[in-house]
Chain A
């Protein structure tokens, strides 16, 4: 194991190197110690492989969750209300329908059983409407009048 560099050493340096070579070495390992080393290495390799597998699985799960969150958020921010085909717009439409339905129910309830104060006005309005005799012209104004009566009375 003599290196080329060794040839250029002075005698004092060569002595120094020999001193280190002879007295600065670990004890020679017995076959039992070698076996112990190999078993410890085997255990580390197995543990390392397990940790690697788990860390890869964990990384995959985190990546999937991050991607899912990203797409979820981007779908919320890009879909316009009323756009067809998206669940967000469907939900918006459904709530609108619900509000409209509730309004109609309220109106129907008032028409069926109007309160006494409204009843006279409602009858008078109905007579006025009938007296006009026209089919098309009266509807917008009188319909608005009916709505005013209902909203004031509620």
Chain B
């Protein structure tokens, strides 16, 4: 089967083909997928784009077997979360290798015009959470998923997620207690 071209095709009234469905998935969820991956892997844009692309490739390959028992987006984000978890699992090996090769890696933060120091502090605090706590915090508080959606995405009970969230907030408060931002205001 030929992979989908990523140009937006005119709407067709006939039943949706796999390619059309995939094009819609990419155009609708690309930005969020990259942002979510970026937040999960500690602010590395190149890694985030790599994870998002790999998740889209896997979604395309598995799309014919998608049974439709959950939302296509939920199914896709499940793939993305797995990719991000895999990336994090190998991050230790990569760091070790970079250390051996004496490569100075900047671990993301390419956008130094932003408040890079603060962003680094936030990333470091997030790094100290367990993988489960970090995932739930990012998905619920930063990406706006509901607990029910996250429970479906991660395959965990809502009670477990609440406990993760509670501990995550506790840990972040402790790590960032010296950070004071008088201009913190409601976003949008």
Contact = CB atoms under 8 A, between A and B. Distances in A.
A148 B39 CA distance: 100
Name the 3 nearest CB pairs between A and B, nearest first.
Answer: A1-B144, A45-B3, A26-B38
Interface stretch (A16-24, A88-96, A106-114): A16-24
B145 A3 contact: yes
A3 B151 CA distance: 14
Given A3-B144, A19-B181, A41-B26, A24 B56 contact: no
B79 interface: no
Interface string B91-121: 0000000000000000000010011001100
Given A1-B144, A23-B118, 10 more contacts: A16-B176, A19-B181, A21-B142, A29-B34, A38-B6, A40-B53, A41-B53, A41-B56, A41-B57, A45-B3
Contact of B187 (A13, A22, A41, A52): A22
A46 B6 contact: no
A19 B176 contact: yes
If over half of B's interface residues share one DSSP class (helix, strand or loop), that class is named, otherwise mixed; here it is helix
B170 to A, nearest CB: 9
A140 to B, nearest CB: 81
A48 B61 contact: yes
Interface of B: 1-6, 26, 30-31, 34-35, 38-39, 43, 45, 48-49, 52-54, 56-57, 60-61, 111, 114-115, 118-119, 122-123, 126, 140-147, 165, 169, 172-173, 176, 179, 181, 184-187
B147 A5 contact: yes
A8 to B, nearest CB: 9
A19 B184 contact: yes
B122 A19 contact: yes
Interface residues of A, number: 36
Contact of A45 (B45, B52, B57, B145): B57
Nearest to A1: B144
Given A19-B122, A42-B6, A49-B1, A29 B31 contact: yes
B173 to A, nearest CB: 6
Nearest to B1: A49
B48 A26 contact: yes
A2 interface: yes
B179 A6 contact: no
Contact of B173 (A4, A13, A44): A13
B35 A25 contact: yes
A134 interface: no
A29 B187 CA distance: 19
B184 A13 contact: no
Given A17-B141, A25-B35, A38-B6, A5 B146 contact: yes
Nearest to A25: B35
Contact of A18 (B38, B54, B146, B187): B187
